[in-house]
């Protein structure tokens, strides 16, 4: 068997050790005589699995006791609505910092639900290639919303905005546990699992208890399943949770702990990202270049273009750019480097180098890039 290096933005690669553990336990978990896939979520066999997953989240992220840890469904996109419906209930006003597609979609969802949205800062002027600096947020907002790491544009907050007493909400889907994070600076953190935690299917939500309203206090028409209290009062068991995904998530969390926790992940992720950015910034003939500004660069998602991406719109230039990009992706895949096609809003290529991506994988990518540049200069 020959495994590829998977640079997908999500679902992404998982630690090989975790995959082997899951494979070994596929037919029978422990001495239960059944797979976790077959277990009742109400069973005594499954109960310790979800409890351990929560305990590991609390341990690795230093989650205080006055925060609830929830495992919900619907992906990060469903949180766009849940945040608005649960928090936008006092003044009905919220501040959003627009740094790309996901923050923009979150703001649009809040508007759709009747929240008065203020875009207090945006990096749209440069195609979201940087994170705007917002030192202090004031006003009668119910909450302030940011997307901590932007998978498409490859940007990341290197600071946390000061929102005073206004709850700060952050989508950390693509950077959760890639670095230490002070949970106490946030009212709500949420993360779709399919990038750094597990297969697709579960969303981690960490919410401060005083921000969980009674269901009847949520915005009018909020469905039962979209009230945080529904899940908080039922230990994420109001309905059948994604049992197997939570089981894998628990194993990934133990893998993170064995590899130094959030601090260990940051050390590894910086080493990988520095290796790739250093090549992009210093490659011979400037055949490649990174699209994000220094000071806003993601450690997780690295978009890059070739010299044939000039911005020219004439037919010949567009055709050449497409030819080179398609050739890069095809030849990379043949070399065992898959899912490198860039998002249409940026173009070019994108390497997502989440926690489970090894330094060897990044080095293999750079070696391929050198060879490709030499053959296509």
Residue 336 has pLDDT above 70, yes or no: yes
pLDDT tens for 103-154 read 999 999 999 999 999 999 999 999 999 999 998 999 999 999 999 999 999 9
Q: Are residues 188 and 217 in the same domain?
A: yes
Place of tokens 């990518």: 365
Q: Could you tell me if residue 7 is inside a domain?
A: no
Q: Could you tell me if residue 171 is inside a domain?
A: yes
Rounded Cα gap, residues 286 and 280, in angstroms = 8
Q: Are residues 158 and 36 in the same domain?
A: yes
pLDDT tens for 282-293 read 998 999 999 999
Q: Are residues 238 and 180 in the same domain?
A: yes
How far is CA 337 from its chain centroid?
A: 21
Residue 347 binned pLDDT confidence (cut-offs 50, 70, 90):
confident
Q: Could you tell me if residue 197 is inside a domain?
A: yes
Which pLDDT does position 1 carry in this prediction? 64
Rounded Cα gap, residues 285 and 373, in angstroms = 9
Q: Are residues 354 and 308 in the same domain?
A: yes
Which pLDDT does position 142 carry in this prediction? 98
Q: Are residues 107 and 200 in the same domain?
A: yes
Do 279 and 301 contact (CB within 8 A), yes or no? no
Rounded Cα gap, residues 179 and 204, in angstroms = 16
Which pLDDT does position 362 carry in this prediction? 98
CATH code, domain with 352 = 3.90.1150.10
CATH code, domain with 33 = 3.40.640.10
Q: Are residues 213 and 77 in the same domain?
A: yes
Q: Are residues 48 and 168 in the same domain?
A: yes
Rounded Cα gap, residues 131 and 160, in angstroms = 11
* Mean pLDDT, the chain, whole residue set: 96
> Considering only CA atoms, which of 231, 223, 212, 220 is closest in space to residue 92?
220
How far is CA 292 from its chain centroid?
A: 17
Q: Are residues 221 and 363 in the same domain?
A: no
Q: Could you tell me if residue 3 is inside a domain?
A: no
pLDDT tens for 227-264 read 999 999 999 999 999 999 999 999 999 999 999 999 99
Residue 377 has pLDDT above 90, yes or no: no
Average pLDDT over residues 301-305: 97
Q: Classify burial at 340, counting beta carbons within 10 Å of its beta carbon; exposed 0-12, middle 13-18, buried 19 or more.
A: buried
Place of tokens 């960490």: 206
Q: Could you tell me if residue 2 is inside a domain?
A: no
Token duo for residue 226: 């979209």
Q: Of 199, 231, 258, which marks where a domain is finished?
A: 258
> Considering only CA atoms, which of 185, 191, 227, 224 is closest in space to residue 208?
185
> Considering only CA atoms, which of 351, 332, 333 is closest in space to residue 342?
351
Q: Are residues 131 and 245 in the same domain?
A: yes
Token duo for residue 46: 């499954």
Total domains present in the chain: 2
Token duo for residue 294: 């220094």
Residue 80 has pLDDT above 80, yes or no: yes
Q: Are residues 188 and 279 in the same domain?
A: no
**Beta 301-306 vs 288-290: how paired, if at all?**
antiparallel
Q: Are residues 51 and 157 in the same domain?
A: yes
pLDDT tens for 163-216 read 999 999 999 999 999 999 999 999 999 999 999 999 999 999 999 999 999 999
Q: Of 226, 258, 290, which marks where a domain is finished?
A: 258
Q: Could you tell me if residue 1 is inside a domain?
A: no
CA diameter of the chain = 66
What pTM does this model have?
A: 0.96
List the catalytic residues: 102, 171, 195
Residue 344 has pLDDT above 90, yes or no: no
Q: Of 224, 258, 292, which marks where a domain is finished?
A: 258
Rounded Cα gap, residues 191 and 196, in angstroms = 9
Q: Could you tell me if residue 113 is inside a domain?
A: yes
Token duo for residue 330: 């095809």
Domain of residue 89 covers 16-258
pLDDT tens for 42-76 read 999 999 999 999 999 999 999 999 999 999 999 99
Q: Are residues 86 and 143 in the same domain?
A: yes
Q: Could you tell me if residue 6 is inside a domain?
A: no
> Considering only CA atoms, which of 222, 377, 218 is closest in space to residue 287?
377
Which pLDDT does position 274 carry in this prediction? 98
């Amino acid at each position: 068997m020959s495994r590829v290096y998977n640079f997908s933005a999500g679902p992404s690669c998982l630690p090989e050790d975790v995959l082997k553990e899951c494979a070994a336990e596929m037919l029978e978990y422990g001495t239960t005589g059944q797979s976790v896939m077959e277990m009742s979520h109400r069973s005594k066999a499954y109960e310790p699995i979800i409890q351990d997953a929560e305990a590991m989240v609390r341990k690795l992220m230093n989650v205080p006791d006055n925060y609830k840890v929830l495992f919900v469904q619907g992906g990060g996109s469903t949180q766009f609505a849940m945040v608005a419906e649960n928090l936008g209930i006092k003044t009905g006003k919220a501040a959003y910092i627009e740094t790309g597609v996901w923050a923009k979609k979150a703001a649009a969802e809040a508007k759709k639900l009747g929240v008065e949205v203020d875009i207090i800062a945006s990096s749209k002027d440069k195609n979201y290639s940087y994170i705007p600096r917002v030192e202090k947020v004031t006003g009668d907002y119910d909450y302030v919303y940011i997307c901590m790491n932007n998978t498409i544009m490859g940007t990341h907050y290197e600071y946390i905005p000061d929102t005073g007493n206004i709850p700060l909400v952050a989508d950390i889907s693509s950077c959760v546990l890639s670095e230490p994070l002070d949970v106490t600076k946030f009212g709500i953190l949420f993360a779709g699992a399919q990038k750094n935690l597990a297969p697709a299917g579960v969303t981690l939500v960490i919410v401060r208890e005083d921000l969980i309203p009674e269901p009847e206090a949520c915005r009018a028409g909020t469905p039962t399943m979209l009230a945080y209290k529904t899940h908080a009062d039922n230990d994420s068991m109001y309905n059948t949770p994604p049992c197997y995904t939570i089981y894998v998530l628990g194993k990934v969390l133990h893998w993170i702990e064995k590899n130094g926790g959030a601090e260990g992940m940051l050390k590894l992720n910086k080493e990988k990202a520095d290796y790739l950015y250093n090549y992009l910034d210093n490659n011979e003939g400037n055949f490649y270049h990174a699209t994000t500004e220094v000071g806003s660069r993601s450690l997780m998602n690295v978009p890059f273009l070739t010299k044939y991406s000039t911005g020219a719109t004439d037919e010949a230039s567009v055709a050449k750019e497409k030819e080179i990009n398609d050739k890069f992706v095809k030849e990379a895949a043949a070399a065992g480097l898959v899912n490198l096609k860039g998002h249409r809003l940026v173009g070019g290529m994108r390497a997502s180098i989440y926690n489970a991506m090894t330094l060897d994988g990044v080095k293999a990518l750079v070696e391929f890039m050198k060879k490709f540049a030499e053959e296509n200069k």
